Amino acid sequence: MATHKVDVAVVGTGPGGYVAAIRCAQLGLSVAAVEDDRPGGVCLNWGCIPTKALLRNAEVVNLFHRAAEFGIRLKGFEADYAEAIRRSRSVADRMAKGVEFLFRKNKITLISGRGTLRSATVVEAATATAREAIEARAVILATGSRPKSLPGVAIDEQRVVSSNGAVRTERAPKSIVVIGAGAVGVEFADVYAAYGVQVTLLEALPRIVPVEDEEVSTQLARSFSRRGIALRTGARVMSVRAGAEGVEVETDSDRIQAEQALMAVGRAARVDGLGLEALAVAIDRGSVKVSPRMETSVKGLYAIGDMTGPPLLAHKAMAEGVVAAEAIAGRDPRPVDYGNVPSCTYCRPQIASLGLSEARARENGREVAVGKFPFTASGKAVALGETEGFVKVVADKGTGEILGVHVLGPEATEIIHEFAVGRTLEATLEEIVHTIHAHPTLSEAALEATLSALGQAIHI
Ligand code: NAD
């Protein structure tokens, strides 16, 4: 068996693993990375990137439907779903090749195979035909997560599909029941609805995107309903029966038939089959326990990303990868600020949020000032014809500390970052409003919402 001797072995090359590997290489460490799928992991190949390409297609299709608003007369048009999937695949392939390029540039050895820990410092990479070993001074585990299902429901990727299967299926169903209205559920509901699929979105909790601020859920629900997406909240799915003709989804109050069901009830950390039990690595509620330096309970063994628990977000994994790499290189990394991780969902209108919802801030006993600015009052949004949504700022009334920000609307996922930087710099409402925002921009809505929290909004 070939043995590689390196400073650091990385298991998994998703956004956590590849960023950790590159940061290690930048810090002068030799690195070998093991991957059992394709470089880039779920994010680049089956998750964030291909879905963003599909959502862009959905946006274009929706714009074509609105052509008359812009004075463009179309004599009908055809939106080819198979072509949308092929475009999405080529976007994903291009980004995965980018990771391979970055590995070559940084002289990182990429080994194909399933990585297993033989000890805290030896990783074995196995394919069906070959085995290689990596002896390392430190190991970073970054094996990510996989879609969860409901008890007794098998994801066959035919009738009952996961996001992983949905991004590669070139035929859109005529009807689909989306189970779960978290990020995956609302993003796919948006894509399918744009392509004329009859979508029913089921959510066990009382509102869609239940982790977001309540006003975000309410307005998104209104927007989805207008586009013909059937919403059923407070509907817990009990069983899914798949047959030759389609699926029957049974909730606690109803039965719904459709051609397919999409399982979007969350993801589970991939911690099995890695050899963690033999090393007695501490696990807490299914996720690997780590220190602020991302070290597991075993010295020299690090874990990052989805496998370490929520939030299950690529950018959180990347930030953790940098911390792990710097810790291994003997630096003193600044721990990840988990209170300031932006959460972004790319349905239309987009959702982006940071920190506490208004309700949570009040529950925490804070006296809050809330500022809100609707995109209907933004010149840029009106010019774009994208007026759904708002920016909402939740701040401490006494100090002006920004406790939470909630954006629903055009480019929400870009607008959120000024508040992320602001919070890192401990900016108050006053400092945000003292910052000149260019006119006309969507970011002015951030300024106006902040002004509104101070009772000084100009444009509403
Ligand atoms: P999620 O946990 O965000 O949402 C799952 C939803 O399913 C919840 O609202 C839950 O109440 C509901 N649910 C659970 N059991 C149910 C049942 N029996 N019947 C009806 N509803 C039920 O999970 P997800 O949307 O699958 O996403 C998985 C992970 O991936 C999340 O952590 C998410 O943040 C991440 N992700 C992020 C993005 C993004 O940032 N744009 C996109 C996709 C996924």
SS (H, E, C) 76-118: CCCCCHHHHHHHHHHHHHHHHHHHHHHHHHCCCEEEECEEEEC
CA nearest ligand 1 atom 23, residue: 266
Extract the tokens encoding 41: 């992991």
Averaged confidence pLDDT in the chain: 97
Neighbouring-strand partners of residue 350: 409
- Pocket of ligand 1, candidates 312, 338, 343, 351: which has the most ligand atoms within 8 Å of its Cβ, to mutate? 312
238 touches ligand 1 (CB under 6 Å): no
Same topology, domains 2-146+268-338 and 160-265? Answer is yes
177 touches ligand 1 (CB under 6 Å): no
Is 439 one of the catalytic residues? yes
CA nearest ligand 1 atom 37, residue: 183
CA-to-CA distance for 453 and 370, rounded, in angstroms?
Answer: 5
264 touches ligand 1 (CB under 6 Å): yes
The closest of 390, 404, 409, 391 to 350, measured between CA atoms, is 409
Residue 49 has pLDDT above 90, yes or no: yes
Residue with tokens 């693993």: 17
CA nearest ligand 1 atom 36, residue: 183
How close is the Cα of 186 to the center of ligand 1, in Å? 9
What is the average per-residue pLDDT within 262-281?
97
Q: Could you give the 3-state DSSP secondary structure of residue 445?
A: helix
The closest of 351, 345, 391, 393 to 370, measured between CA atoms, is 393
Q: Which CATH architecture has domain 2-146+268-338?
A: 3-Layer(bba) Sandwich (3.50)
Strands (E), 142-181: 145-147, 160-161, 175-179
Neighbouring-strand partners of residue 178: 201, 262
Extract the tokens encoding 66: 């609105």
What was the pLDDT predicted at 127?
87
Q: In 10 A of CB 105, how many CB atoms?
A: 10
- List Cα–Cα distances, 171 to 49, 90, 174, 217, 364, in angstroms: 19, 17, 9, 30, 47
Q: Which atom of ligand 1 is nearest to the CA of 346?
A: 41
- Pocket of ligand 1, candidates 46, 54, 203: which has the most ligand atoms within 8 Å of its Cβ, to mutate? 203
Extract the tokens encoding 366: 């804070």
Residue 72 has pLDDT above 90, yes or no: yes
CA-to-CA distance for 384 and 17, rounded, in angstroms?
Answer: 38
Q: What pLDDT, in 10s, does the model give residues 323-368?
A: 999 999 999 999 999 999 999 999 999 999 999 999 999 999 989 9
What was the pLDDT predicted at 80?
98
- List Cα–Cα distances, 53 to 58, 69, 87, 188, in angstroms: 9, 25, 7, 12
Helix (H) and strand (E) counts for the chain? 14, 24
What was the pLDDT predicted at 366?
87
Alpha helices in 401-443 (DSSP H): 412-415, 417-424, 429-434
Give me the count of residues in the chain. 460
State the pLDDT confidence band at 1, using cuts at 50, 70 and 90. Answer: confident
The closest of 344, 290, 337, 359 to 312, measured between CA atoms, is 344
How close is the Cα of 202 to the center of ligand 1, in Å? 11
Q: What percent of the chain has pLDDT over 70?
A: 100
Catalytic residue among 4, 434, 439, 459: 439
CA-to-CA distance for 102 and 97, rounded, in angstroms?
Answer: 9
How close is the Cα of 404 to the center of ligand 1, in Å? 21
What is the average per-residue pLDDT within 153-171?
97
CA nearest ligand 1 atom 2, residue: 266
Q: What pLDDT, in 10s, does the model give residues 221-259?
A: 999 999 999 999 999 999 999 999 999 999 999 999 999
How close is the Cα of 185 to the center of ligand 1, in Å? 7
Q: In 10 A of CB 429, how many CB atoms?
A: 25
The upper half-sphere exposure of residue 118, i.e. CA atoms within 13 Å in the direction of its Cβ, equals 14
CA-to-CA distance for 349 and 346, rounded, in angstroms?
Answer: 8
Q: Which atom of ligand 1 is nearest to the CA of 235?
A: 20
What is the average per-residue pLDDT within 413-439?
98
CA nearest ligand 1 atom 18, residue: 237
CA-to-CA distance for 173 and 171, rounded, in angstroms?
Answer: 6
Spans of all domains in the chain = 2-146+268-338, 160-265, 349-453
What residues have CB less than 8 Å from 274, skipping those under 6 apart?
A: 11, 115, 116, 117, 141, 143
205 touches ligand 1 (CB under 6 Å): yes
What was the pLDDT predicted at 128?
85
- Cis bond leading into 349, ω under 30°? yes
The helix or strand, by DSSP H or E, that contains position 294, with its residue range, turns out to be: none
The helix or strand, by DSSP H or E, that contains position 398, with its residue range, turns out to be: none
Q: What percent of the chain has pLDDT over 90?
A: 98
How close is the Cα of 240 to the center of ligand 1, in Å? 18
| φ/ψ of residue 219, rounded to 5 | -70, -35
What was the pLDDT predicted at 459?
95
Q: Which CATH fold topology does 349-453 show?
A: Enolase-like; domain 1 (3.30.390)
In CATH, which superfamily holds the domain spanning 160-265? FAD/NAD(P)-binding domain (3.50.50.60)
How close is the Cα of 340 to the center of ligand 1, in Å? 20
Angle between helices 314-328 and 15-26 (to 10 degrees): 30
CA nearest ligand 1 atom 5, residue: 265
The helix or strand, by DSSP H or E, that contains position 215, with its residue range, turns out to be: helix 214-226
178 touches ligand 1 (CB under 6 Å): no
